[in-house]
A and B are shown apart, each in its own frame.
Chain A
Amino acid sequence: MISAKGAGVSSMLSTSQEKRYHRNIHLPGVGAEGQLKLLRASALIVGMGGLGSPAAYYLAAAGIGRLGIADGDQVDLSNLQRQILHFTQDIGRSKVESAREKLTALNPDCSVEMHQCAVTQDNADAIVSQYDLVIDATDNFDSRFVLNKACLAAGKLFVHAAVLSMAGRVMTVLPHKGPCLRCVFREPPAPTAKSTSELGVLGSVPGLVACVQASEAVKYLLGQGELLVGRILVVDCLAMSFETVAVLRDPECPDCGSRFN
């Protein structure tokens, strides 16, 4: 048994947990204490699709103790090319039920809470407030703006991502410490903007981007490293180019501008 300071759900890792999380524990600055932090932590993943599937998978595997997963949709055949938590036999099932089954089979340490609904301005505050951070795995800007605002109000970390075709981006919002989503993206794209159903998306692209989101979440929970706060990571898999673009808070931002000190 590896002991760690502090009390909580558990103050020690079991022998099984020592083995399961061996490669986490041996990361610089993590140790048993860090793993116990993860086991006591929680994350909400909104969307169980191309981004949400790999993000949830890696967070469950890392030993995040409580995961909320939100999605009101059912699994469709066209999802399976990229939404890796769902299998052929899951077609027609609720995405959150399908995802929960895989995540709990992967790691019984992880308690998975299902929110079988879209996250809207009517329920966002109540759902977001239950978790330490929020992963944006949605496929539309209306939901993203609702989550951005709810995370600002609750002071929760918000890890935004979006993908299209062979490209994607990630930006982490640390409320009132850096720019929020609407500091950068003021309005939803025009209705004429092309979607993944029109332009396609390679399954590994949301996979790659979601791995960045999961890494940001774990870093935040462990208090390690530098987050993508004040930076947008822009990924182009055709050029295999990864660029970060510096972003500043906007005093005119309708969501966080008035909160400037």
Chain B
Amino acid sequence: MQIELRVYTGLEKYTGSRHGELIPVDICGTMTIADIMSLYNIPPAEVTSALVNGRHKELNYCLHDGDRVSLFPPVGGG
């Protein structure tokens, strides 16, 4: 199974990808969003929102084949 991961706004330093670049990630068995973050050593405190197929999900959400995962860090300034 494979999912599509995209990260934004500084999380690229963990994945080595470009801003919003599609990262195909092979998954085996049951994997959560937190498991995917662990693969890239992304600290949970650095993700303030995770979307799966455009909808908010908790980090313990179990992923399915073809899911599109987007991770956003805290950005709160004005």
What residues of chain A have their CB less than 8 Å away from a CB belonging to chain B? 47, 49-52, 136-141, 161-165, 167-169, 183-190, 192-196, 201, 206, 234, 236, 239, 241, 243, 245-248, 250, 252-253
Contact = CB atoms under 8 A, between A and B. Distances in A.
B75 A169 contact: yes
A50 B54 contact: no
A164 B75 contact: yes
B5 to A, nearest CB: 13
A192 to B, nearest CB: 6
Interface centre among B18, B48, B75 (most CB of A within 10 A): B75
B66 to A, nearest CB: 15
Interface string B54-78: 1110000000000000101011111
Contacts of B19: 234, 236, 239, 241, 243
A190 B9 CA distance: 17
Give the secondary structure class of B's interface.
loop
Given A163-B75, A167-B9, A186-B49, 14 more contacts: A139-B76, A141-B76, A169-B9, A169-B72, A189-B76, A195-B76, A196-B77, A234-B8, A239-B19, A241-B20, A245-B6, A247-B51, A247-B55, A248-B55
B28 interface: no
Given A167-B9, A234-B9, A236-B19, A190 B74 contact: yes
Interface of B: 6, 8-10, 18-20, 45, 48-49, 51, 53-56, 70, 72, 74-78
Nearest to B18: A239
A164 B76 contact: yes
Contacts of A185: 48-49, 72
A201 B18 CA distance: 20
A193 B20 contact: no
A8 B8 CA distance: 45
A162 B56 contact: no
Contacts of A139: 76-78
A52 B77 CA distance: 11
Nearest to A51: B78
**5 closest cross-chain pairs (CB), A and B:** A189-B74, A193-B74, A196-B77, A139-B78, A243-B20
A30 to B, nearest CB: 29
A246 B54 CA distance: 6
